[in-house]
Chains A and B, each alone.
Chain A
């Protein structure tokens, strides 16, 4: 990407710059963001929708970005927010699913094709939203505490404590599973 943001004056150039920048970001990080969303929501179709919305928002808000280098961070936050909304919607749908679909509600919840055994990624979906976000960013996206804190806009100490609580909750789930 050779275009400099400082040299842009014409609206056409700004649009072109945003297109190039978002396209570059898309090519480099689309798969990574879809996977991040997938582990958050457990359903690929929803994950793809969330990432599409994130790129759309990024494109529109490109001129409002203080630092073009923070675009990935912005996109990641946007994906996390989108996942949060999707999970909220799916919780409502899950609540009404037995009535609407006439099923017992025992179907897999927001999962893709089933694996041979339940894993921690499934158990993660049972955790509170904040714990889930912190654990995914920490152990899937491999962000350090400061980066997780910046992405979720919470204090680093909150990241550490949420992470500890989340791991303890998963350990409990595992314990019950084994017991």
Chain B
């Protein structure tokens, strides 16, 4: 075999491997678009009336049958993770942060668009109906401390009653009554607040008693006890911390580690006094490498033990339009294989270098109901219940820097 044949074989294999199993969508039902209907009309023009009526239906049945076959083959009866997921275990309330800019910015004129002083309000809504149950002013930000599009964050405890909120470099705790009414907001002690990075987010533990976050250099995982301000730290060398997620009752944090070795998802035991991430964690899953423009994040472990994360890929279509493809994928923890793609969306980049929000904003206490950013589709946030997507009712995606948690 000549040099060029060897190189062609190598380059083609490399190109083919860009199609990673996690990045490939499953079969889908053919869209009932005008174009496809027109195609069917043309194709069936010479067929009988019955055939014309049945053609689109049989095409749909064909794909559904294959999807069902693949699904059944990969999911033995009695072990269908997420199949029973529904809105039944969904958190009763969700809280959004509404930022209203008011007044003159102290930033130079060329940087003024989208920044300025203003106020941040937390609004509590019923998850099913979207009805507003209560609202509370979190903070009025004065001139000189501009709110930008990354100035606020919110996370929730598993009990659906305690939320941690960040505004610039300050952090607050919001408590709700059992009926969703606001019980009160209190700033976190300075001993806690000063440790939390300004751009957050800090993740509230399931019991609402601790905050976990990565430091500004992404080199450490820190867990702070809210009552005392005491902290424990785990170093992530070699590598860096990409994302965190509390697991179970709050003794473990799922850590996504990036680095030369690829991406690792590790379960870190945070009950100890601190130390090294590698020494105090166990490997759940690893991806040996990711190609350019491909990233993963927002990992979590479902109640059935499967690993779920968001895979993003950026590609350039004809005409140079950059597009981001976002997928929420579920991997089996035992067989180490892709079980299914729960959600997939494509969103074009509005400007060079800008990519739409794409990720899981919050996970319900059962781990089955996800609050996902709409991936630039203009709907704000969506609910993802075991593979079923529903628009989150009751709030406007037009808000400046919207944030939500449940």
A residues whose Cβ falls under 8 Å from a Cβ of B: 15, 19-20, 22-23, 26-27, 30-31, 34-36, 38-39, 42-45, 47-48, 52, 55-56, 59-60, 90, 93-94, 97-98, 100-101, 103, 105-116, 119-121, 124, 135-136, 139-140, 167, 170-171, 174
Contact = CB atoms under 8 A, between A and B. Distances in A.
B318 to A, nearest CB: 5
A45 B325 contact: yes
Contacts of A38: 15-16, 18-19
B293 interface: yes
Contact of A59 (B19, B66, B315, B320): B66
Contacts of B14: 119, 121
A77 B27 CA distance: 19
B28 A52 contact: yes
B65 A15 contact: yes
A55 B4 contact: no
Contact of B4 (A15, A31, A174): A174
B34 interface: no
Contact of A26 (B27, B292, B313, B318): B27
Nearest to B74: A27
B24 A140 contact: no
Interface of B is mostly: helix
A44 B15 contact: no
B200 to A, nearest CB: 29
A107 B321 contact: yes
B320 A39 contact: no
Nearest to B71: A23
Nearest to A47: B19
Interface residues of B, number: 48
A113 B291 contact: yes
A41 to B, nearest CB: 11
A107 B69 CA distance: 40
Contacts of B325: 45
Contacts of B292: 113-116
A139 B15 CA distance: 12
Contacts of B11: 119-121
13 contacts: A19-B66, A31-B19, A42-B15, A43-B315, A44-B23, A105-B319, A107-B319, A109-B318, A110-B317, A110-B318, A113-B292, A119-B14, A170-B8
A18 to B, nearest CB: 8
B63 interface: yes
Contact of B8 (A97, A108, A111, A139): A139
Interface in B45-90: 58-59, 62-63, 65-66, 68-70, 73-74
B313 to A, nearest CB: 7
A76 B106 CA distance: 62
A93 B319 contact: yes
Nearest to A111: B316
A139 B9 contact: yes
B21 interface: yes
Given A52-B27, A60-B62, A111 B315 contact: yes
Interface string B303-326: 000000000011111111100010
Contacts of A116: 292
A176 to B, nearest CB: 14
Given A23-B66, A44-B315, A52-B63, 11 more contacts: A26-B27, A47-B19, A59-B66, A101-B320, A103-B320, A113-B291, A114-B292, A119-B15, A120-B7, A139-B5, A167-B4
A118 B356 CA distance: 28
B12 A26 contact: no
Contacts of B5: 139, 167
B30 interface: yes
